[in-house]
Amino acid sequence: MGFRRGWTILAASSTIALALAGCTNNNAAPSDSPASPAPSASATSSASPNDSNAELDKLGLDSNLKFKETRKITVEVYDRGNDGGSKPEDNFYTQYIKDGMLRDHNVEVTFVPVPRWTEGEVINNLLAANQAPDIGVTYDYATIQTYANMGGILDLAPLVEDNKAILPNLWGYLTETNINWDKDPSTGTLWALEARLNTLNRINTFVREDWLKKLNLPAPTSLQEFEDMLVAFKDNASTLLGSDADKMIPFSTSFDIGWRADHLTASFVPNDITDRDIFIHDFDDRHLLYPNYKEGIRVLNKWYNEDLIWKDFPLYPAGDQTEDNLMKAGYVGAFIHNWDYPYRNGNDSIHASLQKLVGPDAAYIAIEPFANDAGDYKKFLSGPVDRKVFFPASNKEPVASMLYLDWISELDNRVFLQFGEEGVTHEKMPDGSLATIAATGEKIMNSPANIDYTITSNGLDLGDPDLTVKSMANGYAGVDSRFIVTANQITTHEGRIGKNANVGAIQAEDGQGQALKEKRDTFLNKAVTASVDKFDSVYDAGMKDYLNSGGQAIIDERTSAWEKYFGNETMLK
């Protein structure tokens, strides 16, 4: 989430991406340290750098890359507030990391929890107070840039270059692409490393497959068919819900309209949009400023006024479970959300809850109903980048922090964190792939595949693409594989993949990320819920305020930056 910088979109693709496995959230009571796999490559003599002992000695390291005197670092970790989850800063997996870093590098690690759903605001406050963890993680690059301009962020360029020999896993995994994605082409400064996104899967449109069958409706393949389906759900509420007919919600969304309606709004964007136009307007990662976006929101406004959308959607903040509970109870006909959302969280998933409460045929299935002006089901996908990892200027142990990133990027460590212990949280299949086991007690994961700890990586990666794909398919206990296969195929179908158009810092974005995000969410909510005759005035007023509050200045500076580096070109080569 948050506002991205310095990238644009290039070339359509029908790539079927790899995927994240869902994990259960059960009660946890961490106690003993987890068993560890073989020592990481960074701790073995085979991976020792060619640097002389004298050079290592300057860093305080011995020939095994262990500090001669114990160093201490703090690391940010998201607190998702999961019911029944473990303490994000103190659990089975944090102990695994602590033990490994102490064993391999003589570094003591302390985790600092940051609320996931308000992470941008909290990171702002911690940086302002000079209290940020030594290793920070955020989706909001604008915040990093703001504090970098005030001297509050360390330049990582010399750290990754000068210490390259002792960071083989970090360089091998992120490669030049992700390490230098944000490197300023003019100054050479590097304020953050981009984590590797192993899957381009983003969102999907889901409908109740059993409701389609009950009403003898085909899966919609156009906007009109989708709307007709919603009307059919509403008109047949008694048939579908019986005595709960008054609880019918044909279509659900949330306060984050930009994310939750993205496939709908993207279908209104002209297919021939240029790389130039995308870069200039893409600082809002919900695609708010793309041409014709407003018409997608107009459709939602129409549906809202026809009682096809959940009336209370603006009332609940990020992390609230009300909407999920409505889905689990069987009241919601369709929604747009993260690509595998109904199938996540094992026994507590929307899918599992529906099957228990409604029946074995009750299920959501991904569909593809929103075609653009060229008849393509276009999706605007990310480049291979994810969260931004940075060091605040208060970090007094940058080399130890770099070794942490190297350790967390090592294959054995990543796989253990993603899957846990064999026979406990996963089993090895005859084909060599791994299948997750619903975790209980101290072995649960607070985030899918523990992405909150694999901070240089998002998405399953076993080092073998074939095994990774097979393991992904194994990763949804109790879910028929056809649902996962369908969702995985649709989410990236006819996608337009992000590429790096790095033009350096856009000064107008400084400090604007969170403020513009809040303005966007607020005025989109008001536009959707306005009366039809007031829609244009409400939307236009909200957009004018957004632009006057910094949005237009960003557009203008991005336009100038594009012209500086790419001249009159409209497409990247």
Same fold yes or no, 26-42+50-199+386-456 and 203-381+478-566: yes
Closest CA relative to residue 313, chosen from 328, 294, 302, 326: 326
Instruction: Tell me what pLDDT residue 275 has.
Output: 96
Give me the pLDDT at residue 97, please: 98
Do 390 and 507 touch, CB atoms closer than 8 A?
Answer: no
Report whether pLDDT(23) > 60: no
Amino acid at 271: N
Average pLDDT over every residue of 360-379? 97
Strand 193-197 relative to strand 457-458, pairing: parallel
- Residue 220's φ and ψ, nearest 5 degrees, are -65, 140
Note the pLDDT of residue 4.
34
Distance CA 430, CA 60 (A): 46
**Rounded CA gap, 60 and 76, in Å?**
25
Predicted pLDDT of residue 441: 83
18 pLDDT above the threshold of 80: no
Q: Are 163 and 399 in contact (CB under 8 A)?
A: yes
pLDDT digits (tens, 9 = 90+) for 487-498: 999 999 999 998
- State the pLDDT confidence band at 17, using cuts at 50, 70 and 90: very low
**Side chain identity at residue 390, one-letter code:** F
Query: Are 195 and 385 contacting, i.e. CB atoms less than 8 angstroms apart?
Result: yes
pLDDT of residue 16: 29
Distant-in-sequence, close-in-space partners of 202: CB < 8 Å, separation ≥ 6: 262, 338, 339, 379, 381, 382, 491, 492
Higher pLDDT, 85 or 563: 563
Residue that has been written with the tokens 């906007």 in this structure: 223
Dihedral angle, C-alpha 83, 85, 87, 90, nearest 10 °: 180
Which whole number is the average pLDDT over 520-537? Answer: 98
What per-residue confidence (pLDDT) applies to 92? 96
pLDDT: which is higher, 395 or 38:
395
Quote the pTM value. Answer: 0.72
pLDDT for 529: 98
Provide CATH code, domain 203-381+478-566: 3.40.190.10
pLDDT band with cut points at 50, 70 and 90 for residue 28 = very low
Question: Which whole number is the average pLDDT over 339-361?
Answer: 94
Is pLDDT at 456 greater than 50 in this prediction?
A: yes
CA dist., res. 471 & res. 529, Å (int): 43
User: What is the spatial order of strands in the sheet that 193-197 belongs to?
Assistant: 136-138, 385-390, 193-197, 457-458
- For residue 44, the model assigns a pLDDT of 37
Of 19-23, 355-359, 374-378, 394-398, least confident by mean pLDDT is 19-23
Pull the structure tokens for residue 501: 């158009």
What are the CA-CA distances from residue 218 to residues 208, 229, 263, 385 (Å)?
A: 12, 9, 20, 37
What's the confidence (pLDDT) of residue 566? Answer: 94
- Give the model confidence (pLDDT) of 396-421 as tens digits: 999 999 999 999 999 999 999 999 99
User: Given this model, what pLDDT does residue 11 score?
Assistant: 30
In percent, the amount of the chain with pLDDT more than 90 equals 76
Q: Please give the average per-residue pLDDT across 468-497, as a whole number.
A: 89
Q: Kindly report the average pLDDT of the chain as a whole number.
A: 90
Mean pLDDT is lowest, of 193-202, 225-234, 473-482, 531-540, for: 473-482
Instruction: Please say whether the dihedral angle defined by the alpha carbons of residues 464, 469, 473 and 477, taken in this order, is positive or negative.
Output: positive
Reply yes or no on whether the pLDDT at 322 is more than 90.
yes
Quick one: pLDDT band at residue 391, thresholds 50, 70, 90?
very high
* Three-state SS at 336: strand
- At 34, the pLDDT band (50, 70, 90 cuts) reads very low
SS3 of 44, please?
A: coil
What confidence score (pLDDT) does residue 317 get?
93
Q: Each residue of 191-217: pLDDT tens digit?
A: 999 999 998 999 999 999 999 999 999
Q: Nearest 5°: phi and psi at 106?
A: 55, 45
Q: What percent of the chain has pLDDT over 70?
A: 91
Residue 504 has a pLDDT of: 85
With bands split at pLDDT 50, 70 and 90, how would you rate the model's confidence at 52? low
Lowest average pLDDT, out of 29-38, 302-311, 464-473, 548-557, goes to: 29-38
- Per-residue pLDDT, averaged over 471-482, amounts to 84
What pLDDT sits at residue 37? 44
| pLDDT class of 385 with cuts at 50, 70, 90 | very high
CA distance linking residue 67 with residue 50, whole number of Å: 17
Please say if the pLDDT value at position 5 is more than 70. Answer: no
Residues 6+ apart with CB under 8 A from 484: 19, 340, 343, 472, 473, 475, 476
Residue ranges of domains in the chain? 26-42+50-199+386-456, 203-381+478-566
CATH of domain 26-42+50-199+386-456: 3.40.190.10
